[in-house]
Amino acid sequence: MSYHGSPMIRLVLLWHMHQPFYKDMVTGEYRLPWVRLHALKDYFGMVKLLDEFPDVRQNFNLVPSLVNQIQDYASGQAHDPFLNLVAKPAAELSTADKKFALRYLFQANPVNMIGRYPRYRELWERYRATCERPEGPESYFVTRDYADLQVLSQLAWFDEYFLAESDVAALVQKGEDFSPEDQQVVIAKEREILSKVLPAYAAAAQRGSVELSATPYYHPILPLLCDTNAGAQSTPGLSLPTRHFQRPEDASLQIRMALDSHAALFGMRPQGLWPSEGSVSEETLKLASREGIQWMATDEGVLGRTLDFHFTRHDGSRLGGDGAERLYNIYRYEKGETRMHLLFRDHRISDQIGFVYSGMPAQEAANHLVQNIKDSAQPVLQQGKDAVVSIILDGENAWEYHPQSGREFLRRFYEAVQRDEQIEPVTVSEAIARHKENDLGRLNRLVPGSWINANFNVWIGAPEDNHSWDLLADARDYYDRHSDRVSAEQRKLAWEELLIAEGSDWNWWYGPEHHSANDRDFDELYRKHLSNVYHALEGIPPEELNTPIMSGVVRPSYIPQTAYVRARVDGVVSGYFEWMGAASYTSDQRTSAMHGKQFLLDAVYAGLDVDSVSGRLDFHDAIPEGAYRLVVNIEVRREEWNRKAPMQSYRLTVDAQGRRLQKWVLSNGEERRKLASFSVENGDVDRHGVEVALDQIFEFRIPFDLIGAHEGTRIRLRFAIWREHLPLDSLPLEGWIDLFALPEAELESHQYGFSPNSIQ
């Protein structure tokens, strides 16, 4: 690569590695296993991959409370009931163990993690078919099933590097009928992997391949920790907690603890700080500057509000000249004694990595990303200036949605970047050092905000959020009043629990924005941390801490088909009863540990009758404007009773402009052979009985004979919307809608195609 002469694109890639603090400091037990599981895959694999690309410099942000938990696992001291469960011989599992296993060991991406192991997928489909039955799903599983679930639920999280090693590859090849000895191989391998994670980062930092930054220790929202009134400053009129929480001293300590722990582990204090959730304010810049921090980063939305400038992408993907020159720069904030370099991430490109490229072939996605970066920076380069393009996102959760943990996509992307003489992948400190002084942007004010909508509404303002802050304020005041009456050890424990409760993760799940299968666990763990404060100070926790904070109701996501469907295909909602009995899947826009997913699809319906399959798609808010493509992927297994029978794939592709249908094609999935089609422009009427309509909603019907279906056939459907050659949204987001060609009277008893009689 040549970095001299013509203006360069300095590419700053920052991967933020973070998980909540799952450890109960009193019992020492981990409430959830995600630190361990992500350490087996993303934490190690993401930095290990850079060994193959010596010229690709990157940035990793390691949250100290995450590092603390990884160290606990690596030392063998972590008390993880999930690990104990998968290590226990299946024949010795109690009824409670079995319920625990079925509740938690299927919590993985059903397509890319569960789906890559046929036996794991078989067990998951059986669980999904029986989990709502009154007798409970555990009665449908035998010892052999639990043994296989124990092993495969762990292999699904192993990084590609370890899957290639002989002992692990042998287990993958075996596929099922795992023994207690196989379980021990998996457990031993996990301990080996966990011990390699932090040394891999230290080695990469030492050779200059990466720059490591930190985050305030327990991941608090610093501006709110300094003053909860910052919520209303960012969003005027926002409802605030009853108690005014104002603890800048705690914010300062969380920063200092982070820097000290980082220095102790890696031998140097970090130059940069990624504030939790990109949350910044002038007060937090001042606190970080006092601790010697040289740079911080956040989202373009915060810069836009500060400059009173809207970063509009006129062509749907790239900024105009003024926007590009403002965003692709490094800023120096100066006010009083505070000095700080600031970078602002490209929101659009960062979200495309997290939510869009997973739906594309790896090479195609990598090519698009590289060209996207180059096209976006072009207005700056044309002015004779270097462009600093900052891409910052979650470095762990995104890869569950990519095949093979996204390694192939990243490998193709890094190869392209390493070859490209116009792109210089750098660390943040390198970008600052190489940037021309006269080209720096200048700021003497900063509007408070985060990387989510440039405000703090995810963590404050909703009734659940505000109640959480009030409980925290009560516990914090209780500590001030009573900490001097107990021993130094008790005082230390109470203080640690308070700092943990100040973290952002609890309020992430409160309020209307997000939810997960573990909502109850997060709620109980937060209240446990606060209760531990009172117990450590020899007090009695308030009764409120025994009552769940979380009260939200999740929309039902999936309902199976219970009756034949023969809806009129006309693109309008003709009435409630038209799709009654259809299988349905409803988009739940809170189901993600990552924020930024673009939701365009609201719900899908699908159903069979005696000789056809029908589908309906409802849009979120309104039908998109402009050009877009709808894709219905269809898989057909003609002998559902034969689990080894291959799936035949088909695709219905529909091009539209707003509500105007332009053309559609039904094709054979593998061969792309056209089976039926229609075009407004060409007047084609080669429909072969297929019906397609678009108006208020999208509807279709396909005769069985076109896709080789008949009684006994299993049909699976998945809907997606594409725009500008990018997949923007899909339903189901993971997995498929399952339909079964049966007599109508048998549909309701054959949910998901599983019956107890099929157990061996």
At 623-637, the pLDDT tens digits run 888 899 999 999 998
pLDDT of residue 756: 30
Give the pLDDT confidence score for residue 312 in this predicted structure: 85
pLDDT bucket at 592, cuts 50 / 70 / 90: low
Return d(Cα 490, Cα 536) in angstroms, integer: 5
- Average pLDDT in the 451-462 region? 93
The span from the CA of 572 to the CA of 354, in Å, is: 34
**3 state DSSP class of 68:** helix
Confidence of residue 374 (pLDDT cuts 50, 70, 90): very high
Across the range 149-175, mean pLDDT stands at 95
Q: What is the mean pLDDT of residues 676-680?
A: 89
Q: Mean pLDDT over residues 307-317, rounded?
A: 81
Cβ proximity of 630 and 721 under 8 Å: yes
Question: Which residues have a Cβ under 8 Å from the Cβ of 252 and sit 6 or more positions away?
Answer: 287, 290, 291
Angle between helices 248-266 and 180-206 (to 10 degrees): 100
| Among the listed residues 395, 361, 401, the one whose alpha carbon sits nearest the alpha carbon of residue 111 | 401
pLDDT of residue 586: 82
Using the predicted structure, report yes or no on whether residue 757 has a pLDDT greater than 60.
Answer: no
pLDDT higher than 80, residue 749: no
Side chain identity, residue 402:
H
Q: What is the pLDDT of residue 1?
A: 42
The predicted pLDDT at position 758 comes to: 31
What tens digit of pLDDT does each residue of 600-626 get? 888 899 999 889 999 999 988 778 888
Amino acid at position 688, single letter = H
CA angle 567, 573, 578 (to 5 degrees): 30
Q: Residue 93 pLDDT > 50, yes or no? A: yes
pLDDT at 253: 98
At 640, is the pLDDT very low, low, confident or very high (cuts 50, 70, 90)? low
Residue 398 has pLDDT above 90, yes or no: no
Task: Report pLDDT for 588.
Answer: 63
What is the enclosing helix (H) or strand (E) of 414?
helix 407-419
Closest CA to 619 of 600, 646, 637, 635: 600
Rounded CA gap, 363 and 411, in Å?
Answer: 9
46-73 confidence digits (pLDDT tens): 999 999 999 999 999 999 999 999 999 9
| Edge-to-edge strands, sheet with 698-703 | 558-559, 583-586, 601-608, 612-619, 698-703, 691-694
Query: Between β-strands 58-62 and 210-213, what pairing exists: parallel, antiparallel or unpaired?
Result: parallel
Pinpoint the residues of the chain covered by CATH 2.60.40: 558-758
Is the predicted pLDDT of residue 4 greater than 60, yes or no?
A: no
Burial (CB < 10 A; 0-12, 13-18, 19+), residue 192, is: exposed
pTM: 0.84
Here the tokens at position 618 are 């409802």
The pLDDT of 1-17, averaged and rounded, is: 83
What is the spatial distance between Cα 368 and Cα 404, in angstroms, rounded to a whole number? 19
| Residue 354 or 147, more confident | 147
DSSP state of 376: H
> What pLDDT is attached to residue 743?
84
**Residue 584: what pLDDT?**
87
| Of 291, 263, 265, 264, nearest in space to 275 by CA | 291
State pLDDT tens for residues 503-530: 999 998 887 766 777 788 888 999 999 9
- Rg for the chain (alpha carbons), in Å? 27
Q: In the chain, pLDDT over 70 holds for what percent of residues?
A: 93
Q: Which residue has the tokens 């309008």?
A: 572
Q: In this prediction, what percent of the chain has a pLDDT beyond 90? A: 68
For residue 462, the one-letter residue type is A
Per-residue pLDDT of 328-337, as tens digits, reads 999 999 999 9
Whether 559 shows a pLDDT value over 70: the answer reads yes
Q: Average the pLDDT over 696-725 and give the result.
A: 89
71 or 561, which is more confident: 71
Residue 112 near residue 141, CB atoms below 8 Å: no
Q: What is the per-residue pLDDT across 339-352, written as a single tens digit (0 to 9) for each?
A: 999 999 999 999 99
Q: What is the mean pLDDT of residues 92-111?
A: 93
Q: Is the pLDDT confidence value at 694 over 60?
A: yes
Closest by CA position to 16, among listed 304, 350, 283, 311:
350
Question: Under a CB-based contact definition with an 8 Å cutoff, are residues 337 and 325 in contact?
Answer: no
Selection from 33, 42, 23, 59 nearest residue 213 by Cα: 59
Q: Are 681 and 673 contacting, i.e. CB atoms less than 8 angstroms apart?
A: no
Q: How far apart are CA 247 and CA 283, in angstroms?
A: 12
Distance CA 650, CA 615 (A): 14
Whole-angstrom Cα distance, residue 753 to residue 427?
52
Is residue 155 over pLDDT 90? yes
* Per-residue confidence band for 492, with pLDDT thresholds at 50, 70 and 90: very high
Range list for CATH 3.20.110.20 in the chain = 9-18+215-235+245-443
CATH code reported for the domain at 463-546 = 1.20.1430.10
Is-contact 123 6, C-beta < 8 A?
no
**Mean pLDDT computed over 546-561:** 73
How high does pLDDT run on average in the chain?
A: 90
Domain spanning 9-18+215-235+245-443, CATH architecture: Alpha-Beta Barrel (3.20)
Quick one: 576 exposed, middle or buried, by C-beta within 10 A (0-12, 13-18, 19+)? exposed
Question: What pLDDT does residue 316 have?
Answer: 59
Q: Is the pLDDT of residue 587 over 90?
A: no
Which residues sit opposite 655 in a β-bridge?
Answer: 629, 663
Cis bond before residue 732 (omega within 30° of 0)? yes
- Give start and end residues of each alpha helix (H) in 502-607: 505-509, 519-536
pLDDT at 156: 97
Confidence band, pLDDT 50/70/90 cuts, at residue 598: low
Four-residue CA torsion sign, 435, 436, 439, 441? positive
Residue 454, both tokens: 């440039």
443 has which bridge partners?
333
* Alpha-carbon dihedral sign for residues 45, 51, 54, 57: positive
pLDDT in tens, 236-287: 999 999 999 999 999 999 999 999 999 999 999 999 999 999 999 999 999 9
Q: What local confidence, expressed as pLDDT, does residue 642 receive?
A: 57
Over residues 196-234, the pLDDT tens digits come to: 999 999 999 999 999 999 999 999 999 999 999 999 999
Q: Hey, which residues does 730 pair with through a beta bridge? A: 720
Give me the mean pLDDT over the 372-393 stretch. Answer: 96
DSSP state of 687: -
Show the tokens assigned to 466: 């505000």
pLDDT at 184 > cutoff 60: yes
pLDDT digits (tens, 9 = 90+) for 439-451: 999 999 999 999 9
Does the structure show a pLDDT above 60 at 641?
no
Beta-bridge mates of residue 17: 62
Q: Coil, strand, or helix at residue 388?
A: strand
124-145 average pLDDT score: 89
Angle between helices 166-174 and 143-155 (to 10 degrees): 140
Q: How far apart are CA 743 and CA 617, in angstroms?
A: 25
User: In this model, does residue 402 exceed pLDDT 60?
Assistant: yes
Q: Which residues contact 278 (CB under 8 A, 6 or more apart)?
A: 297, 298, 299, 302, 345, 392, 450, 451, 452
Residue 212, classed as helix, strand or coil, is strand
* pLDDT tens-digit map of 412-425: 999 999 999 999 99
Q: What is the pLDDT of residue 239?
A: 94
Distance CA 60, CA 106 (A): 29
The CATH architecture to which 558-758 belongs is Sandwich (2.60)
Higher pLDDT pick, 560 / 81:
81
Cα(113)–Cα(101) distance, rounded to whole angstroms?
A: 17
pLDDT of 314 reads 67
Phi, psi of 438 (to 5 degrees): -70, -15
Tell me which H or E stretch contains 343: strand 338-345
